[in-house]
Amino acid sequence: MGKVTGFKEFDRKTEAYRAVELRLKDYGEIFTGTHDVALLQQQGARCMDCGVPFCQSNDGCPVDNLIPEWNDLVYNDKWQEALTRLLKTNNFPEFTGRVCPAPCEGACVLGINNPAVTIKNIEQAIVDKGFEQGWIKPNRIKRKTGKKVAIVGSGPAGMAAADELNKLGHGVTVFERDDRIGGLLMYGIPNMKLGKEVVERRVNLMKASGIEFITNVNVGQDISTSALQQDFDAIIFTTGASQARDLPVENRDAKGVHLAMKYLTSNTKSLLDTGHADESELSAKGKDVIVIGGGDTGTDCIGTAIRQGAKSVVNFELMSRPPIERADNNPWPFWPLIYRVDYGHAEAQSVFGNDPRQYQLMTKSFIKDENGNLVGLKTIDVVFDNAQLTEIAGSEKIWDTQLVLLSMGFVAPEHYLSKDANIKLDDRGNYQAEYNQYQTSQVGIFTAGDCRRGQSLVVWAINEGRGVANRVDEYLR
């Protein structure tokens, strides 16, 4: 611990985002791109050398980052050593430092009665400095095992598995059905939160390390699993949970109701392909937009719609507004279920003058005109009592809207690949395999990430990618 009394002397202070009025003019990252070293060292000094660092436990960090160690190293201006500690446990801190909701901060011991250490800011600064200084280089492996592994899906789980297996000396080929590598990182998270040059920089490092990436190939349709088994010694499925939860209410077929991920993918692809946002049916330009469902994806839809020039943006939440402080049934060190203002909410507040979120609303039906175009929707207020949902009679309301984005999470992976590979599913429709074992019902076929565990965080995908790599290595040896 660098400063024994640091946690008593210094208040929590996070690095600011770019000003709202500036960042709304482009799709650049919301981050400033520079780091205040003095501020970060001061924040590192707040780490209190607690007896049991819950920040790096499973309640805090799924990849067991050595957080107190690199906090101390940053305080003492030993950035390269801090990077070495960080890369011991996390393959891609440039991703988690930007998009992870930071459960480590929710589990910070200081957070019991004070604001937590700014762990996420410090993590991002360490890896950004590592790239700036040229400390992060390709892992060129000289001793090869002669074994070959095919990875299906290039999201964070697949990339982490590829990185680890390559370090162990195995030949690795990653198959991706889209036209760019990265999966969720490339098309599921908008540019404002994770610049695609950041993803491509890491992919290029992995290519230079000897990993092969093949795009525009949909395993299970373009090529069979059995064909891959003829060329590879093991196969890993890391396809994510891409089957979105839908809203099957009246007039769901109205033109203008879309799944959030389709909307975000369309905008990012158009931005990367042609340098401008998509202006097809999926554009929010000049429209009254309603986002149904909260979470990170809902926030990303809000930020994207504002940048596209939406006339208005409203966000429906089924649940009630969270409390400002932890409730009694939500104790430390569990993730604090509290009211937060994310970047998209702040942007909507700046543009439209109010928080876009409307709570305890259930959509009853969509409204379409004679041509099938969406023109509105009908809601009713609801209350929850002992987890029982009750509609409030007489609270129906009609909302004008021409674009509705469904952001209600994901239910399972798509099943054409599991059918092709003839692997079993669990009772939730995920690829069946035990955590820390990752073996499917077919010998030599493994699985990890959201397609195995269900919708989760990028940091959990990295955890499972690293874990499945170890199991595949044992299998091959």
Burial of 38 (0-12, 13-18, 19+ CB in 10 A): exposed
Domain spans in the chain, listed from the N-terminal domain onward? 6-132, 148-242+411-476, 246-408
**Distant-in-sequence, close-in-space partners of 386: CB < 8 Å, separation ≥ 6:** none
Q: At which residue do the structure tokens 């879309």 appear?
A: 258
Answer yes or no: is pLDDT of 90 > 80: yes
**Are 148-242+411-476 and 246-408 the same fold in CATH?**
yes
**Distance from C-alpha of 467 to C-alpha of 274, rounded to nearest angstrom:** 38
pTM: 0.96
Q: How much is the pLDDT for 423?
A: 98
CA 333 to chain centre: 21
With H, G, I as helix, E, B as strand and everything else as coil, classify residue 397: strand
Answer yes or no: is pLDDT of 58 > 80: no
Confidence of residue 280 (pLDDT cuts 50, 70, 90): low
> Mapped to the 3 state alphabet, what secondary structure does 103-170 carry?
HHHHCCHHHHCCCCCCHHHHHHHHHHHHHHCCCCCCCCCCCCCCCEEEEECCCHHHHHHHHHHHHCCC
The residue-averaged pLDDT of 448-472 equals: 97
CA-CA distances (angstroms) from residue 185 to 139, 302, 335? 22, 18, 23
Q: What percent of the chain has pLDDT over 70?
A: 99
Q: How much is the pLDDT for 385?
A: 84
Answer yes or no: is pLDDT of 137 > 70: yes
Answer yes or no: is pLDDT of 117 > 70: yes
| Fold of domain 148-242+411-476 | FAD/NAD(P)-binding domain (3.50.50)
Q: How much is the pLDDT for 279?
A: 67
Angle between helices 458-476 and 156-167 (to 10 degrees): 40
CA 3 to chain centre: 34
**Distance from C-alpha of 107 to C-alpha of 223, rounded to nearest angstrom:** 44
Q: Which CATH architecture has domain 6-132?
A: Orthogonal Bundle (1.10)
Q: How much is the pLDDT for 38?
A: 96
More confident residue, 49 or 97: 97
The residue-averaged pLDDT of 271-294 equals: 88
| Fold of domain 246-408 | FAD/NAD(P)-binding domain (3.50.50)
Give the pLDDT confidence of 1-33 residue by residue, as tens digits. 668 899 999 999 999 999 999 999 999 999 998
Answer yes or no: is pLDDT of 291 > 70: yes
The residue-averaged pLDDT of 245-259 equals: 97
The residue-averaged pLDDT of 144-148 equals: 97
**Distance from C-alpha of 82 to C-alpha of 73, rounded to nearest angstrom:** 6
Residue 410 gets which letter from DSSP?
E
Angle between helices 196-208 and 156-167 (to 10 degrees): 20
Answer yes or no: is pLDDT of 57 > 90: no
Give the pLDDT confidence of 31-40 residue by residue, as tens digits. 998 999 999 9
**Distant-in-sequence, close-in-space partners of 388: CB < 8 Å, separation ≥ 6:** none
Confidence of residue 118 (pLDDT cuts 50, 70, 90): very high
